[in-house]
Structure 1
Amino acid sequence: MTRPERKQVLLRLDPAVHDALARWAADELRSTNAQVEFLLRAALADAGRLPAVVQTMRRPGRPARSADDEEGNEA
């Protein structure tokens, strides 16, 4: 199943808020963008407004190695 195209949003933040968010994201092995999405999804779920059709996010951290990588075909 292919994922639908992701929406892009311009977000203006106070520099101190951005710095705190970036540190938090790094602590959880996420990009700043993924941390924003994680927090927005959590807020929507807490408010009972997260649509049922939303796909789950990829777990934080480095993606799992593929079968090609395990065979020594690393790029």
Structure 2
Amino acid sequence: MAEKKNFMLRIDSDVYKALEKWSADEFRSVNGQIEFLLNKALKEEKRLLDKKIKTTSDKSAE
């Protein structure tokens, strides 16, 4: 499992309430929902490194 970094986040109370409802609708914690949304946005913008490890079958296809 990847190391997780703690940090303080200040957001508007209305935004937090919306996140709280959204996360409950998807059975996640608010923290989990924020992490999910950030990961999704980073992947869509191709700013998250692909952490897949190449298998021997992947290497033979190159």
Q: Normalising TM by the smaller chain, what interval? A: 0.7 to 0.9
Provide Cα deviations, 1:40-64, integer angstroms capped at 9, x if missing partner.
001001101111128xxxxxxxxxx
Normalising by structure 1, report the TM-score. 0.64
**What's the TM-score once normalised by structure 2's chain length?**
0.76
Residue from 35, 39, 45 that aligns with 1:47: 45
Kindly state the Cα deviation for residue 9 of structure 1 after the two structures are TM-superposed.
1.5
When you count helix as a share of all residues, which structure comes out higher? 2
Gaps of 5+ in 2: 53-62
1:20-53 CA distance string (max 9 Å, x none): 0010000000000000000000100110111112
* SS of aligned partner of 2:21: helix
Q: Matches of residues 47-66 of structure 1 in structure 2 within 5 Å?
A: 47-53=45-51
Q: Identify which range, 3-12 or 42-51, moves more after superposition.
A: 3-12
2: CA distance, partners of 1:39 / 1:6:
16
Q: How many residues align?
A: 52
The aligned counterpart of 1:19 is: 17
Q: Larger RCO: Structure 1 or Structure 2 (Cα < 8 Å, ≥ 6 residues apart)?
A: 1
